[in-house]
Chains A and B, each alone.
Chain A
Amino acid sequence: MTIGLRPPSMWRYHEWLPFDGDPVWSLDTGCTPLVEAPALARRFGVARVWVKNDTVSHPSLSFKDRVVAAAINAAAAFGLDTIGCASTGNLANAVAAHAARAGLKGGAWIFVPEDLEAGKVIGTSVYGARLVRVRGTYDDVNRLCAQVADRFGWGIVNVNLRSYYGEGSKTVAYEIAEQLGWRLPTAVVAPMAGGSLVTKLRKGFGEFLEAGLVHGDLPRLYGAQAAGCAPIVHLVERGAGPIEPEVPNTICRSLAIGNPADGTFAARAMRETGGWGVAVSDPDLVEGIRILAEDVGVFSETAGGVTTAGALALARAGRLRPDDEVVLCITGHGLKTLEAVQHAVPEAPVIAPRLRELLELEKRTWPSR
């Protein structure tokens, strides 16, 4: 059946996903909106901008639903009844939600840094997952999970199921191409933590070019990180060599991976497509969240602030062109990281339920930033 007539989920592209048979779980993940953002296009000085809005991904409000949908079907194929992950938060939410929905007998074991945002922690525990908070950074959690996968034989989605998990990310690229009317943008800006998404965007766009579904050049791929944890950006700037790990220091917890194993591949994907890396400060990423909300009506968690502020920095540095058609990958919902913006938005005034008080309020200057 032609792709356009298939049900609206990431499985409409199943020929490009690593499964022989039909998927059995998480059949309704994917096909998030591609939102045109003319205000952002004016702000960046480019022809057109779209937001790939994975803040409304089903069921856990981040693009990690895609990778978990792929991984949980791999777990099913391998007969694994327990899944798990090391996570900076979004993946934790996704693994917990998908495992609950599938009714996995062994459930989900989820490992996160001790001090994650409340939304990420509660948004995992609520599904009945076995959530373990580990003292240390994500990189410490990740190391433990490598040992857990080795010892317990569970399907740790981003460790021993990683090759399946990663393929799920390609569906972002497929959807962008289809939603643009079977063509490619000229530039894509995506957040980077482990660096996997950037590499899978390249693979996904490349596969559609190869299949003849789209024509032209690969988009220039740009990766954004928080300045307090930017080992991949620094590698792009150095040009070659190994990743030099960093100790993260940023409010952008979802991207705080100091030792990104896909970093060298991500750096290569950016340089080889004519893109670049960009790092933004914590105040700038908070401003990025506000810009995205006010310009597009999309409320993103911290990673989306990094992506938006990163795109703005790229535009100011002259890396985006007036004729560019740019897609921003916005990967997680803002309600997950309220802590990041709660002090950056004006406090709402309180009035009595009387029209006179509203009339007085309306005359006064509205609280500004």
Chain B
Amino acid sequence: MAITVNLPSVLAAHAGGARTIEATGRTLGEAVADVATRYPGLAPRLRDKDGKPYPFVNFYLNDEDVRFRGGFAAPVRDGDEVTVIPAIAGG
């Protein structure tokens, strides 16, 4: 079992069209690194060249903004769901 990563369609295009992919790792950062290794086209869109998150690409772990959980250091477990969403705003 692994964690599930949901991609927006703009990123799914870089994962062979898959909106949902699987990943492994003990932290979100490791899971993102795993995805980046397997889908090189996604790598620069998920994190910067130092492996850090961009301010305008948000990650949600089971519906919670991971910035409230330590960002890429947030621990993940089998069965967790990660959703990647470009930052937007409204009012």
Chain A contacts to B: CB under 8 angstroms: 64, 85-88, 90-91, 138-140, 142-143, 145-147, 150-151, 158-159, 162, 193-196, 242-245, 247, 254, 257, 259-264
Contacts and interface: CB of A to CB of B under 8 A. Distances in A.
Given A143-B60, A147-B8, A254 B88 contact: no
B91 A257 contact: yes
B55 A242 contact: yes
Interface stretch (B25-33, B37-45, B62-70): B62-70
Interface in B63-91: 63, 65, 67-68, 83, 85-91
Contacts of B60: 143
22 contacts: A64-B91, A88-B91, A143-B60, A143-B63, A143-B85, A145-B88, A146-B88, A150-B8, A151-B9, A158-B88, A162-B89, A193-B90, A195-B89, A242-B55, A243-B55, A259-B65, A259-B67, A259-B87, A259-B89, A261-B89, A262-B89, A263-B89
A244 B90 contact: no
Contacts of A196: 89, 91
A138 B3 CA distance: 26
B85 A264 contact: no
Nearest to A255: B91
Contact of A142 (B8, B63, B83, B90): B90
A139 B65 contact: yes
Residue with the highest number of chain A CB atoms closer than 10 Å, among B8, B56, B87, B89? B89
A140 B85 CA distance: 12
Interface in B42-64: 55-56, 58, 60, 63
Interface residues on B, range: 10 to 19
A159 B86 CA distance: 10
B86 A146 contact: yes
B89 A257 contact: yes
A57 to B, nearest CB: 14
Contact of B67 (A64, A193, A245): A245
A159 B88 contact: yes
A146 B56 contact: no
B85 A85 contact: no
B9 A150 contact: yes
Contacts of A142: 88-90
A140 B55 CA distance: 17
* A-B pairs with lowest CB-CB distance, top 10: A194-B89, A158-B90, A261-B89, A261-B87, A193-B91, A242-B55, A146-B85, A86-B90, A150-B8, A262-B89
Nearest to A64: B91
B25 to A, nearest CB: 22
Contacts of A193: 89-91
B91 A264 contact: no
Residue with the highest number of chain A CB atoms closer than 10 Å, among B58, B60, B63? B58
Contacts of A162: 88-89
A245 B68 contact: yes
A194 B88 CA distance: 9
Interface string B1-42: 000000011100000000000000000000000000000000
A247 B65 CA distance: 10
B90 A257 contact: yes
A87 B8 contact: no
